[in-house]
Chain A
Amino acid sequence: MQSNNLFSIKKEHESSKKHVSGKAKYIDDILEPKNLLHGAIGYSTIAKGKIKKIDLSEVINSKGVEKVITYRDIPGVNDVGPVFKGDPIFIENNIEYYGQPIFAVAAKTNELARKAVKKVKIQYLEKKPILDIKQAIKKKSFVLKPVKICKGNAINEIKKSKHTLEGELYSGGQDHFYLEGQISMTIPQEDNNFLIYASTQHPSETQQIVAKSINQKFNSIKVKVRRIGGGFGGKETQSFIFSVISTLLSKHTNKPVKLKIDRDDDMIITGKRHDFYYKYKVGFREDGCINGLKITLASRCGFSPDLSGAINDRAIFHIDNAYYIPTIDLISYRCKTNTVSNTAFRGFGGPQGMYCIENIVENISEFLKIDSSIVRKNNFYQKNTKNITHYGMKIEDNIINDIFDHLIKQSNYKKRRKDIINFNNKNRILKKGISITPVKFGISFTTTHLNQGGALVHIYTDGSIHLNHGGIEMGQGLMTKISQIAANEFGVSLKDIKISSTHTEKVPNTSASAASASTDINGGAVIDAINKIKKNIEIYISKKFKYKGKIIYKNNKVYFGKQKIDFKKLISNAYFERISLSASGFYKTPKIFFDNKNFKGRPFLYFAYGAAVSEVIIDTLTGENKLIRVDILHDVGNSINSSIDIGQIEGGYVQGLGWLTNEEISWNSKGQILTHSPSTYKIPVSNDIPEKFYVKIYKKGKNKENVVNRSKAVGEPPLMLAISAFMALKNATSNKQLKAPANPENILMAINR
């Protein structure tokens, strides 16, 4: 890998000019084909039971309706489950959550489709739903078998410990609230083939699942995605059902069909972040060092497994966060409830694991009356000792001690903590809190085979470069970074690189854009493809110029020996010499393996690290609160594009902040979700971020592993920096049992408990 001025720069998002002028096209903006029909979904309004009788006659006769479909109209498999079965497209018999699709219509306009859906008459046979985690554990209602892990004899270690603490904790769910709602448009092609424009993080699996649903070969389905208006995990699997339904409607009508889901329906039908219940017992020393931890993790998976297995596994992988826990006795329950099937959400279980251990460490500090930053440090993994995780992976790249020390200094943590103690002594009504928390997040899909990516690179005869790869642009700046990688490899400028879209025709069998690894994996594949083309060019140069040796691509020129030639000229010449200027590339993440049975191995190629200090003020009369200041120091390795990385860090923090403070999902006693619109579900707004928001990239950062530019993944890790805000609030309430989300009510309850 050669370095060039296109790396380690600040470069705006490739679409930014189109974003600000309304020219960036999302699916609903694409010029609509003639005869387009619009879809709408009718769903269950009970959480558990059966359909006694369904009368669709008024729906069928409703104005503008061309087709109504139910499970009977599915030629193939009635399931969109990604890993495990259990996610029906339409209910056949058993209703498992409020909002579960029963039928769909295609009508002349969106309005007519939605009006038609309302006209269904359904008689239900209602059963009592299971609605919370504890109830599910009690009834042994699980979507997957519990997972147990033991390292050493934790029970014994806890018993022998000088101090022990035990308790229960909760973390809440979270709606993705991508600004572009779920949408899919299917256009029929010849030979019963279909082209699908989907707002998805996973075109390949969309292709596969749609094909299975209509009982056709994968090669008859094309899925194309230029960009999506946010995903955050909510379009990793939850988008499938919409593409399947738009395609079913299209197949039955032989017309193009657009299925655009209303925001409320989107929030009712699709899965969210898993909320967790935790029970722990911890034994520790005088200095706060943990000797042993007995822990129960239980999550609300909803009615089906979806990705819950891997999500709960990742919660287990991150129950240590940055701490060495010598002995551990863990059980993880994957609870089945009659609620929507919970799914991937930025962090993928990692945040839930970290939230738990950070609370435990905070509680230990409070118990010992020691500054929690000290207890945290005392428990950190070390370089040469205390460096094996509870799943047997040796941590080789630990930099958390250095990041933490830097941030404590940089943020003036110690003095501010003293000032806050003074402030709190002087003020009866207003109280402040401060906390610093670390993040250590494992990078790679923990399902090993997913760690592969592909790319397709062409150079046209004018020297312009076109490429495709398996990753999805969802705002994270993936296309910008990949363009930088390609431009850098060929020594050309960014405007010579075109990434058209992500398309199953161009790059097959891709993995979801998830697990933060899209740049690592797809960037690796692009480099592989480019190296193949370069090999062809090398052959050409050696024949034509009788030169063997190093060839350098730089400043739109190609240098070899004492000669140089314009890149464009070289390409044109090579074409006339019948040199292939196109190649596909492939990448698989090295070193990783995992033994699922024993829960041992190296699931991650490397870790990303970071730390944050948050300071808050609360009103003890109302629980109202405000973030005063945030300092972040985060490790992105050797950044490819620091302005994009900073954007990921800030955005991740604020999304985590929403999860732990204001965002709250509630259901009524019948299992009907009550927070299904932005009027009742409140994500952070401009005023919720602190005036003092200092974000810095860890300058010494360099990936030990051979990842492009020695950079590190940055999508998910920063979300967990927001745990510091929750701990600061906990600190301000004098460390009572503050429950997440720490909204005004829960804060006031913690104070008054």
Chain B
Amino acid sequence: MIKNEIEFILNDELININNVDTNVSVLNYLRINKRLTGTKEGCASGDCGACTAIIAELKNNKLEYKAVNTCIMFLYSLHGKQLITVEHLSNTKLHPVQQSMVDNHGSQCGFCTPGFVMSMFGMYKDKVKPSNQNIDEYLAGNLCRCTGYNSIKKAAKKMYSYGRKDKFSKNENKIIKLLKKIKHNDILISKNNNKFYIPLNLKNLIKYIQNNKHYKFVTGGTDIALEVTKKNNTINSLIYLGNNKDLNYIKIKRNYINIGSATPINKIIPILKKYYPSFAEMFYRYGSTQIRNVASIGGNLGSASPIGDSLPALLALNAKLILQSKNQRLLGIKYFFKAYRKTALKNNEFIKEIRIPILKNHIFKCYKISKRIDDDISSLFVAYLIKLRNNIIIDVNIAYGGMDSIPNFAFKTQKYLIGKELNLKNIEKSKQIIEKDFNPLTDVRASSYYRKLVSKNLMDRLFLEINNNKVRI
């Protein structure tokens, strides 16, 4: 059975809707249709966080709260969720995070403030310890031009002192009940010749794409939504994968981490922390909390951006991909990237799963270099996978982002290093070879010269870190 409307909870009101355009963002719906203007538009590209709101989802009979950028989230992807906006935080009394912001002078012009309040509210609901590091992690997606952040960070540090229980803890059961009432069906919304399809499961998805053309997949929407908000284009047919349980999972199986392609980055980090801490550390600098909460690993791969951060890491790790159309096929990731933003995906084929091998005897390191430490796109990115036996390199992968039109290996350098002893002399030599592997371009993020120089220098960092030197700022 296919339904033709979505259901979600806006603050505490159950909403059934199908009469707005399929390209409408959550932000525009809030501001224009519902006249809830507390949520602001600062950039309409998911970079400034002024539009931050919270989504609550039912997970294991509990509510899971996630901050999102409403400016780049399609309204119909709210199906089955609760959306909490700043207007809903307080009634007669301010919420603890709001009161803390007032008392610590966290607002000046006030325009970014609702976004900060919502990000902080997300942190509050996660019951995270308000250390500097955690605060930076939760607030990296919110820009403030007035305060210089010090007062905002103080507010975050003190928010729990205003009470650890809020009205949401009290209302949790009521919301859970409401969410449980929402039926999960296939949903297809057609409006002005535009379509928005939410498949219930993998089977239905496969069937749908056999019979449709020119659709675009959307999970977090953090990339594709910009087509609408920035280029003013209309996307006629969208398929939303965010609710699809068959694509949203992490399983450890036979020395592989198997990740469903629609799994958000933030869900993957804890597993990576265990097996590849350097990968996890990098992922904390991937976009912002709002982005990582919804952006999927499959979307990151599918966009095939030469500077997409997880791509070189997966390349170095020899990840495998399960590509799905009517049938499945297994493809080594090194065969996936064909040309600038072109992949091996055929028509009506999509990424179903990413398999990351668990390599216990290898050293894995990756380094992201960007202008700004947090929430910035890499100038360059490198991932190393090395296996040593008696200090001899017996296996090596070096994969770069930002150095070529696709994420790619440093083939010549790899070839040189195989069989060599890991010592300063050989590292020095390998640096000269890297230069022959790539001819990167100059753009707003970095010059070709800088990219080359740093790609070499990072070999030094790798060598020093393998030898347990502390060389990070």
Chain A interfacial positions (CB closer than 8 Å to B): 12-13, 15-26, 28-29, 31, 111, 114-115, 118, 176-181, 227-230, 232, 262-264, 429-430, 474-477, 617-619, 621-626, 643-644, 646-647, 650-655, 662, 664, 666, 674-675, 677-680, 682-689, 691, 693, 695, 743-745, 748-749, 752
Is A21 within 8 A of B86, CB to CB? yes
Taking CB atoms, residues of chain A closer than 8 Å to B230 are 262, 264, 677
**When chains A and B are docked, how far (Å) is the Cα of A622 from the Cα of B462?**
13
Is B109 within 8 A of A180, CB to CB? yes
A21-B94, A177-B143, A654-B148 in contact; A748/B40 too (CB < 8 A)?
no
CB distance from B10 to the nearest CB of A (A): 14
Is A12 within 8 A of B43, CB to CB? no
**Cβ contact of A21, chosen from B41, B98, B147, B461, cutoff 8 A:** B98
Measured CB to CB, the nearest residue on chain A to B380 is A622
Chain B interfacial positions (CB closer than 8 Å to A): 31, 35-45, 47-48, 50, 85-87, 89-90, 94, 97-99, 101-103, 105-114, 117, 132, 135-136, 139-140, 142-153, 230, 232, 369-377, 379, 443-447, 450, 453-454, 457-458, 460-461, 464, 469, 471-473
**When chains A and B are docked, how far (Å) is the Cα of A381 from the Cα of B393?**
63
Is B107 within 8 A of A651, CB to CB? no
Is B149 within 8 A of A621, CB to CB? no
A28-B37, A111-B232, A686-B136 in contact; A179/B144 too (CB < 8 A)?
yes
Is A624 within 8 A of B373, CB to CB? yes
Is A475 within 8 A of B42, CB to CB? no
Is B139 within 8 A of A749, CB to CB? no
Centre residue among B102, B469, B473 by max chain A CB count within 10 A? B473
Is A21 within 8 A of B144, CB to CB? no
Is B146 within 8 A of A666, CB to CB? no
Known A24-B110, A227-B110, A429-B471; further 15 A-B contacts with Cβ < 8 A: A16-B102, A22-B37, A22-B114, A229-B111, A230-B109, A643-B105, A647-B105, A651-B148, A654-B148, A654-B149, A686-B142, A686-B149, A744-B369, A744-B379, A745-B446
Measured CB to CB, the nearest residue on chain A to B111 is A229
CB distance from B457 to the nearest CB of A (A): 4
A621-B457, A689-B149 in contact; A680/B444 too (CB < 8 A)?
yes
Is A230 within 8 A of B146, CB to CB? yes
Is B107 within 8 A of A19, CB to CB? yes
**When chains A and B are docked, how far (Å) is the Cα of A691 from the Cα of B454?**
27
Is A230 within 8 A of B47, CB to CB? no
**When chains A and B are docked, how far (Å) is the Cα of A621 from the Cα of B382?**
14
**Cβ contact of A430, chosen from B86, B453, B473, cutoff 8 A:** B473
Is B107 within 8 A of A13, CB to CB? yes
Is A647 within 8 A of B473, CB to CB? no
Is A429 within 8 A of B47, CB to CB? no
Measured CB to CB, the nearest residue on chain A to B114 is A22
**Cβ contact of A229, chosen from B106, B110, B445, cutoff 8 A:** B110
CB distance from A474 to the nearest CB of B (A): 6
Taking CB atoms, residues of chain B closer than 8 Å to A181 are 42
Tell me what chain B mostly uses at the interface: helix, strand, loop, or mixed.
loop
Centre residue among B105, B152, B375 by max chain A CB count within 10 A? B105
A21-B98, A228-B109 in contact; A684/B369 too (CB < 8 A)?
no
Is A745 within 8 A of B105, CB to CB? no
Taking CB atoms, residues of chain A closer than 8 Å to B469 are 429
Taking CB atoms, residues of chain A closer than 8 Å to B371 are 662, 664, 682, 743-745
Centre residue among A662, A680, A682, A749 by max chain B CB count within 10 A? A682
A21-B98, A179-B112, A685-B143 in contact; A29/B37 too (CB < 8 A)?
yes
Taking CB atoms, residues of chain A closer than 8 Å to B377 are 679-680
**When chains A and B are docked, how far (Å) is the Cα of A664 from the Cα of B446?**
11
Taking CB atoms, residues of chain A closer than 8 Å to B39 are 22
Measured CB to CB, the nearest residue on chain A to B116 is A20
A476-B108, A662-B371 in contact; A686/B90 too (CB < 8 A)?
no
Taking CB atoms, residues of chain A closer than 8 Å to B50 are 179
CB distance from B360 to the nearest CB of A (A): 28
Is B458 within 8 A of A685, CB to CB? no
Is B450 within 8 A of A748, CB to CB? yes
CB distance from A647 to the nearest CB of B (A): 5
Is A20 within 8 A of B149, CB to CB? no
Taking CB atoms, residues of chain A closer than 8 Å to B98 are 17, 20-21
A114-B232, A118-B232 in contact; A622/B454 too (CB < 8 A)?
yes
Taking CB atoms, residues of chain B closer than 8 Å to A28 are 31, 37, 40-41
Taking CB atoms, residues of chain B closer than 8 Å to A13 are 105, 107-108, 110
Is A651 within 8 A of B111, CB to CB? no
Taking CB atoms, residues of chain A closer than 8 Å to B471 are 429-430, 619, 621
Q: Can you report 26 A-B residue pairs in the complex whose CB atoms are below 8 A from each other?
A: A13-B107, A13-B108, A16-B110, A21-B89, A22-B86, A24-B110, A115-B232, A179-B111, A229-B110, A229-B112, A262-B44, A429-B461, A474-B109, A619-B471, A619-B473, A621-B471, A622-B461, A650-B147, A654-B150, A674-B444, A675-B444, A679-B45, A685-B140, A686-B139, A744-B450, A748-B454
A20-B113, A682-B376, A686-B374 in contact; A651/B444 too (CB < 8 A)?
no
Taking CB atoms, residues of chain A closer than 8 Å to B373 are 624, 626, 687-688
**When chains A and B are docked, how far (Å) is the Cα of A687 from the Cα of B109?**
21
**When chains A and B are docked, how far (Å) is the Cα of A654 from the Cα of B372?**
14
Taking CB atoms, residues of chain A closer than 8 Å to B97 are 20
Is A685 within 8 A of B109, CB to CB? no
Is B107 within 8 A of A624, CB to CB? no
**When chains A and B are docked, how far (Å) is the Cα of A264 from the Cα of B226?**
12
Is B110 within 8 A of A15, CB to CB? yes
Taking CB atoms, residues of chain B closer than 8 Å to A654 are 147-150
**When chains A and B are docked, how far (Å) is the Cα of A621 from the Cα of B110?**
40
Please name the 7 residue pairs, one residue from A and one from B, whose CB atoms are nearest each other, closest first.
A22-B38, A475-B109, A229-B111, A654-B148, A19-B110, A475-B108, A678-B47
A179-B40, A693-B150, A745-B450 in contact; A26/B145 too (CB < 8 A)?
no
Is B113 within 8 A of A19, CB to CB? yes
Is B143 within 8 A of A179, CB to CB? yes
Is B48 within 8 A of A678, CB to CB? yes
CB distance from A208 to the nearest CB of B (A): 25
Measured CB to CB, the nearest residue on chain B to A22 is B38
Taking CB atoms, residues of chain B closer than 8 Å to A623 are 450, 454
A21-B87, A22-B39 in contact; A263/B45 too (CB < 8 A)?
yes
**When chains A and B are docked, how far (Å) is the Cα of A179 from the Cα of B456?**
39
Is B149 within 8 A of A685, CB to CB? yes
Centre residue among A23, A181, A475, A683 by max chain B CB count within 10 A? A475
**Cβ contact of A26, chosen from B40, B45, B152, cutoff 8 A:** B40
**When chains A and B are docked, how far (Å) is the Cα of A179 from the Cα of B140?**
15
Taking CB atoms, residues of chain B closer than 8 Å to A679 are 45, 47, 377
Is A683 within 8 A of B143, CB to CB? yes
Is B146 within 8 A of A475, CB to CB? yes
**When chains A and B are docked, how far (Å) is the Cα of A41 from the Cα of B38?**
26
CB distance from B450 to the nearest CB of A (A): 4
Taking CB atoms, residues of chain A closer than 8 Å to B136 are 685-687
Taking CB atoms, residues of chain A closer than 8 Å to B139 are 685-686
**When chains A and B are docked, how far (Å) is the Cα of A476 from the Cα of B110?**
10
**Cβ contact of B38, chosen from A23, A621, A674, cutoff 8 A:** A23
Taking CB atoms, residues of chain A closer than 8 Å to B376 are 682
A111-B232, A647-B151 in contact; A20/B117 too (CB < 8 A)?
yes
A685-B139, A745-B450 in contact; A263/B108 too (CB < 8 A)?
no
CB distance from B472 to the nearest CB of A (A): 7
Is B101 within 8 A of A20, CB to CB? yes
**When chains A and B are docked, how far (Å) is the Cα of A109 from the Cα of B472?**
51
Measured CB to CB, the nearest residue on chain B to A180 is B111
A685-B143, A689-B149, A743-B371 in contact; A20/B114 too (CB < 8 A)?
yes
**Cβ contact of A230, chosen from B145, B149, B457, cutoff 8 A:** B145
Is A662 within 8 A of B111, CB to CB? no
**When chains A and B are docked, how far (Å) is the Cα of A349 from the Cα of B87?**
41
Taking CB atoms, residues of chain A closer than 8 Å to B105 are 12-13, 16, 643-644, 646-647
Is A677 within 8 A of B110, CB to CB? no
CB distance from B148 to the nearest CB of A (A): 3
Measured CB to CB, the nearest residue on chain B to A23 is B38
